[in-house]
Structure 1
Amino acid sequence: MIHPVIEKETFPLDNDQYYFAGSHGSELYLGNRKYPLSFTTVDTALTRKETVYLQPDRPSYPFRNISVKAVFPFYYVYDGTVPVILRGKIGSKRPLTVSFQDAYFHQLAVIDSATFALRTQSAETKNLLLAKLSLGERDVQLYPNILKKQIDGVFDMDGNLISDPGRLLAYIYAYRNEFIVTSPELEKIRQFNTIDTTHTAQIKITQLSDGRHQMQAPPVKVNNSSVLHRGLLFNQSLLRGRHESRNAWRNADVIDVYKTNSQFYVGSFYLYRKKGEKLNSFHITEKSFYALYGKQLVRYKVTGQISKYFEPGEAENPFKE
C-alpha cells in the first residue's frame, strides 16, 4: 500500500444522501438523492455550504431517477427514463431543457456543453452499448462495439461511464477486471486490466418468458465507483487482495490508481471508514481528495506519490494526433 493522501478536515452534513457532482476552482458541487433537485456548493476548505433548489423550465416532467453533474460553467440535470437533459449556469436556479426524448439512457457523461456520452441499450439485441448525443445536430450516434459481451450482454457489461471533460472517457466494468479508455469522440479505444484476477464476470443469469434477464444469484462485484483526473483513474476495489490484511479490509475502503495512457498500476491506498460508515462517493481536485461517509465530508491532502503522475493541468485530449 502507498500513502498518497493525508486526512485534513471533516465537515458535517445534514443527511447521508449526498454525492459528488463536480468541482471548479475553490468550489465542490454536490447532488443529493433525498432531494434530487437540490444543488449544493461547499468551498474546498470545508468552511461553508450553500444549497439551492432547482426549478426546471417544465415542472411536468415525469421524473423517476434524477441525477446532477457539474462541469463549469454549467450544471446538468438529467433523467434517462424520461428522457431529458437540462442545463443551467452555475449560480442559476432555472435549468433549461436542452434534450427531450432524443435517447433513453442509464448513464451520462459530459464531453462538452453540447455533447454527451451515454450508456444505453440496443433496441435490437438488448445489449448495453455506448452512444454519443450531439445537441447541435440532434444526433445520436451508437457505438455497439466498444463494450464487450461475455455472457448475457446486460449484467456482464454493467459498469460506470465517467469522463474527464476535454481529455477522455472511461468505462469500468463492475464484474470483471477491465476498464476501457476512449477519446471524447468515442473513436479511439484503449483497453486495460485492473490488478484483480476476475477476467470473466461471475454471474448467473436466468432468461424470463418475456425475454428479460434476471440475476439468479448475488454476483461477485469487482469494481464500485471510479473517478478520472488528469490522466489517472481512481477505482474503488471491492475484492480483497491476496496479501491484504483482513482487519484493514473490514475497516477501510481501498482505492486503486491506474494510468490511462498505458497499462500501469500506480498503487493502492486505504481510506479508513468514519464511524463505521462505508464510502459513498469520492472526488479529486488538484491538491485534495474528498470522500463522503454517511453525514460527513472529509478532505485529504494529495501528496507527491500521486500528483507526480498527473498529466499537465490544461485539459488536452491525449488521443489527439
Structure 2
Amino acid sequence: MKTREIIILFSVGIFSSLSVIVLFLLSEHTVHRNNAFTRRYPHHPITKKYDLSVRFNSYYVSGFDGDHLYLGNKTAPLHLLEINLKTKDTNHIQLILENNNFTFRSLKVKLKPPYFFIMDGTVPCIYRGRIGDWKASLWMEDYAYFSNAIPIDSNKVYISTTDSESQVTTLGLIQKRKNNKASIFLNSDLLEKQFDGIFDVDGLMVSSSKSNSQGYVYYYRNEFMLMDSDLNLIKRQRSIDTIKTAQLQIANIDNSNVTKFNAPPTIVNKLAIMHGDLILIKSDRLGKYEDEIMLSEASIVDVYNWQKGSYEFSFYFYDIGKEKMREFSMNDTFMIGLIDDKVSVYEINKEQFKTTPRNSDEMN
C-alpha cells in the first residue's frame, strides 16, 4: 500500500473517531441542556450549618419528629439513628417487633408522629408502634403486596403496587377501619400510561407532614400530581422542563414478558419531597444561561407551590467532595441531605419556604 493511501486511511479513521466523540458530547449536552426554561436563584434560601458523619452510607431518611431526624439503615433494618439537628447529639435505637414470624427482604421504617411504621411489601406486612417506646406490633399482613409505602396517618398507608388484573403500576391505600380490619383501595385513574404503564409511569411518591395531601412525581416527564388523603385527585401540574412524553426505548428480552431499556432514559425529575404547599424536585437538566460546571459541584433543586400552581425558585445543594446527595428532606427549620456517609444540614429561610398552615388528620 502506498504511503499516500496509508495517510488517507489514517486521516479518515481519525476523522471518524473525532466525529463519534463530538456526536457523543453533543448528545450528552442535549440530555442536560434545555434552553426553553430559565431558573430563578434567590439569595440564600438555605444556609449551610454543618456536615455530620454517620460512618455508613446505608442510611436513609425515616422521618422527623420536631427537630429530631431519624435515619433507617438498609443493612441493619431494625436499627434507627436519632439526630438532634440543633445540638448534633445522636442516639442509636433498636426496634423490637412483637410476633415476628416473617422472613423480611425489603424492610423500611417510616415515621408519622406519634407513630412509626415498619413495612415490607414483599411479605407483605406492616408493623406499627409509638415513637419513644420503639416496640411495634403487627398492623397488617397478607392484604396487598407493594413496592413502596408512606404512612399518612395512624390508620392509613399510601402505597404503590401492581394491579393484579391490568398488571400496571397503580397507587392505592391500605386502611384500618374501626373494626380493626384492613381494606385496600386502588385508584387506577391516577397514573397516566404513555407506553407500557410500568416504566413510563415510574416515579416518586411524596407526602407532606404539614397537610393531608399526597403527591406523585414522574421520573421521565415534566409532571407531578396532588391527591387528598383519600387519594382523590386534586390537580396535575407541569414542572418548568418541557419533556411531556417520556423518552424511553423499551424492548422485550427474547420475546418474553421481561422488559428492559434499550437506551438510558432521560430523567426529568430525579428526587422529590413535599412540604406543605411546596414540592421540591431535584433535576440534572440545565436551563437557559446555566453553567454546566454546576452539575459537577451541586444538585439543582426546583421549588413549586402546588396550591398556586407556580414555579417559585431554585437553589443549589452542594456536593461533599465528589459525592452528590442521594436523598434529601426537610422540616420547618432544617433541610438535610444524605451524601455518602454524611448528613449535610442547612437552615432554611422560612420566608422563602412559607406554606399555608393547615390542620393535619387527627392521630388516634
Query: TM-score normalized by structure 2?
Result: 0.83
Quote how far apart the aligned CAs of 1:305 are: 5.0
Percent identical:
29
Query: How many Å separate the matches in 2 of 1:218 and 1:297?
Result: 30
Quote how far apart the aligned CAs of 1:316 are: 7.3
Note if 1:149 corresponds to 2:190. Answer: no
Note if 1:205 corresponds to 2:250. Answer: yes
Quote how far apart the aligned CAs of 1:241 are: 2.1
Greater Cα offset, 286-295 or 77-86: 286-295
Q: Which residue of 2 aligns with 1:20?
A: 61
Quote how far apart the aligned CAs of 1:58 are: 3.5
Give the letter aligned to residue 71 of structure 2: L
Q: In 1, are the aligned partners of 2:153 and 2:361 still within 8 Å (CA)? A: no
* Pick aligned residue for 1:303 from 335, 345, 349: 349
Greater Cα offset, 218-227 or 97-106: 218-227
Q: Which residue of 1 aligns with 2:283?
A: 237
Q: Which residue of 1 aligns with 2:239?
A: 194
Quote how far apart the aligned CAs of 1:34 are: 2.2
Query: How many Å separate the matches in 2 of 1:90 and 1:267?
Result: 35
Give the letter aligned to residue 71 of structure 1: K
Quote how far apart the aligned CAs of 1:304 are: 4.3
Query: How many Å separate the matches in 1 of 2:358 and 2:164?
Result: 40
Query: How many Å separate the matches in 1 of 2:266 and 2:245?
Result: 10
Quote how far apart the aligned CAs of 1:315 are: 3.3
More helix by share: 2
Q: In 2, are the aligned partners of 1:19 and 1:280 still within 8 Å (CA)? A: no
Note if 1:278 corresponds to 2:342. Answer: no
Q: Secondary structure at the match of 1:300?
A: strand
Query: How many Å separate the matches in 1 of 2:293 and 2:111?
Result: 37
Q: Secondary structure at the match of 2:96?
A: coil
Q: Which residue of 1 aligns with 2:138?
A: 97
Quote how far apart the aligned CAs of 1:257 are: 0.5
Query: TM-score normalized by structure 1?
Result: 0.93
Q: Secondary structure at the match of 2:97?
A: coil
Q: Which residue of 2 aligns with 1:125?
A: 166
| Structure 1 residues without counterparts, runs of 5 or longer | none
Give the letter aligned to residue 282 of structure 1: F
Greater Cα offset, 102-111 or 213-222: 213-222
Quote how far apart the aligned CAs of 1:70 are: 0.5
Query: How many Å separate the matches in 2 of 1:106 and 1:150?
Result: 21
Q: Secondary structure at the match of 2:266?
A: coil
Give the letter aligned to residue 288 of structure 1: F
Query: How many Å separate the matches in 1 of 2:192 and 2:358?
Result: 32
Note if 1:167 corresponds to 2:202. Answer: no
Q: Which residue of 1 aligns with 2:23?
A: none
Quote how far apart the aligned CAs of 1:202 are: 1.1
Q: Secondary structure at the match of 1:306?
A: coil
